[in-house]
Amino acid sequence: MNKHPLPTGDTIKIAAIVTEYRWNSHADVIVGRLLGDFDYQPQVEVVSLYTDQVPANNMSRAEAARCGIPIYPTIREAVLAPHSPRPVDGVVIIGEHGDYPMNDRRQKEYPRRRLLEETLLALEERGLTVPIFCDKHLAYRMEDATWMYRQLKERGIPFMGGSSIPFADPVPAFGPSLLKSARDFVVVSFSSALEAYGYHGMEVLQALAEQREGGETGIATVLGMEGEDVWRYVREAGWMEELLQAALSQYPAYAGGHPSVHDPSPALFVITYEDGTRGAVFQFETLVNQWGWAFRTDGGSIVSARIHSDTARPFSHFERLTRQIERFLLTRRPPFPMERTYFTTGMIAYGMESLYQGRPLATPELRMSYSASIAPPVLSSTELEGGSE
C-alpha cells in the first residue's frame, strides 16, 4: 500500500482510542486510513494512540513508530497528549474487535462506555469540548447507552457514531423523497454474529425510517425470534413476505424460490414504531453476503435495493466512512443526528434481550421524536426512564 505524507502544521490534531489494532480490524481500516494507509490522503493528524489490548498480530506499534506517534498506556494520557504543543481537536474511539467476554445475551461486552467515560474525564480536565466519533453502537447495555447519550448531550459534545454501511451506495439508486410516504420496511442482513451484524441491519432500517414524513416519532416495541418461529411469524403477519422477496430479488446470485428453502433457521427482529410504521430485520447465515432492503409506500408501490459494500480489502465503504469522520471532525457537525445512533443501540440491545426472554419488549427510552436534520430531540414524558428489562 502507498503511504501519503501525514498532515502537519495547522491541521487539526486527534487522539485515537481503540480496543485492538490488527489486520482488517476497524482500527486498521479507519485509523489506518488516517495514517495514510490504503492510498488515503488524510486531512487530520493522529497525534496519540491508546490500545486497550495488544494481540499477537498487533499492528499498532509498527504503525505508530512509522508515523512518529506515541502510544500512551492510559486513555487520559492519549487524550491529554502531553507531547503535543497544543491540545487535541478531536477524538476517534473504535471499540470494535478484541478479546472480550460474550454474555448470556450473546453480546460481546466491548468496553465502549469506559472508553468514552475516560475520554470525557480527560477532556474535562483540560477544559476541552471537542468532537468525538464512536464506531458502531454506543454500548451493549441500554443503561450504559442512555448514560453515554445524556453525558454527550449535557456537555454539548459534537458526536458522530455508527458504521460505514449507511454510506454505501444502494443498487439500484432511488429517489430518497420516496421515503417520506414509506411505512413498512424490510432489511436483509447476514452472518451468524447476531449482535455485530444485526446492528448494521438496525442502522440501515433506521437510516431509512427516520426519513419518513414528520421525522422520527419513537419506537414502541422490539421483538426477536429465530428458527422456525421466523417463517411462522412471516406467514401470519402477512405484510413482510412480499417486501422480503423484493429485497432478495436485487441479489444477482439469489437462486429464487422461497427463502425458507435456502435458510430455514434465520433470525428476525421486528420493530414497531409509535406511529404504526413497521420494520423487520432478517439475519441470514448463508443466503446473502451484503445488506439490502425494501419498503412500501402509502400508495402501495415497493422500492428495493442491495447495498454495495466491499466484501474484501480494501473495503471502499470504510473510505467513505473515514471521509465522513474527517468532515465531522473539521466542521464539528455530524452527518446525521446522534439520536440515530442512540436508537439503533436500543434496537439491537432490546432485540438481543427479546431473543433471550422470548417475548416482545417495550422500549421506553426510545419513545422520543427527532428530525433527520441536525436538531435537538423532543423527549416524551418518559424522559429516558427505565433500563433494558
CA–CA separation, 120 and 10 (whole Å): 24
Q: Is residue 143 part of a domain?
A: yes
CATH number at residue 33: 3.40.50.720
Q: Are residues 87 and 200 located together in one domain of the fold?
A: no
Q: Are residues 17 and 159 located together in one domain of the fold?
A: yes
Q: H or E segment at 219?
A: strand 219-226
Compute CA distances 190 → 96, 106, 201, 222, whole Å.
Answer: 18, 16, 9, 19
pLDDT at residue number 7: 58
pLDDT at residue number 373: 79
pTM (2 d.p.): 0.93
pLDDT at residue number 10: 76
Q: Is residue 108 part of a domain?
A: yes
CA–CA separation, 347 and 298 (whole Å): 24
Domain span at residue 214? 170-308
Q: Are residues 155 and 216 located together in one domain of the fold?
A: no
Q: Is residue 127 part of a domain?
A: yes
One digit per residue, the tens of pLDDT, for the chain of length 389 reads: 445 555 556 799 999 999 999 999 999 999 999 999 999 999 999 999 999 999 999 999 999 999 999 999 999 999 999 999 999 999 999 999 999 999 999 999 999 999 999 999 999 999 999 999 999 999 999 999 999 999 999 999 999 999 999 999 999 999 999 999 999 999 999 988 999 999 999 999 999 999 999 999 999 999 999 999 999 999 999 999 999 999 999 999 898 889 999 999 999 999 999 999 999 999 999 899 999 999 999 889 999 999 999 889 999 999 999 999 999 999 999 999 999 999 999 999 999 999 999 999 999 999 999 999 764 445 443 333 333 22
Q: Are residues 62 and 132 located together in one domain of the fold?
A: yes
CATH number at residue 210: 3.30.360.10
Evaluate whether 201 touches 309 at the Cβ level (below 8 Å). Answer: no
Q: Is residue 8 part of a domain?
A: no
Q: Are residues 229 and 266 located together in one domain of the fold?
A: yes
Q: Is residue 157 part of a domain?
A: yes
CA–CA separation, 263 and 284 (whole Å): 7
Q: Are residues 262 and 178 located together in one domain of the fold?
A: yes
Q: Are residues 18 and 158 located together in one domain of the fold?
A: yes
Q: Is residue 361 part of a domain?
A: no
Backbone phi, psi, residue 75, to 5°: -65, -40
Q: Are residues 213 and 243 located together in one domain of the fold?
A: yes
Helix, strand, coil percentages (3-state) for the chain, rounded to 5, are 35, 20, 45
Compute CA distances 144 → 110, 233, 345, 365, whole Å.
Answer: 11, 32, 10, 12
3-state secondary structure of 278: strand
Q: Is residue 382 part of a domain?
A: no
Specify the number of domains making up the chain: 2
3-state secondary structure of 368: strand
CA–CA separation, 163 and 29 (whole Å): 12
Q: Are residues 146 and 22 located together in one domain of the fold?
A: yes
CA–CA separation, 74 and 119 (whole Å): 10
3-state secondary structure of 101: coil
Q: Is residue 342 part of a domain?
A: no
Backbone phi, psi, residue 174, to 5°: -145, 165
Q: Are residues 117 and 207 located together in one domain of the fold?
A: no
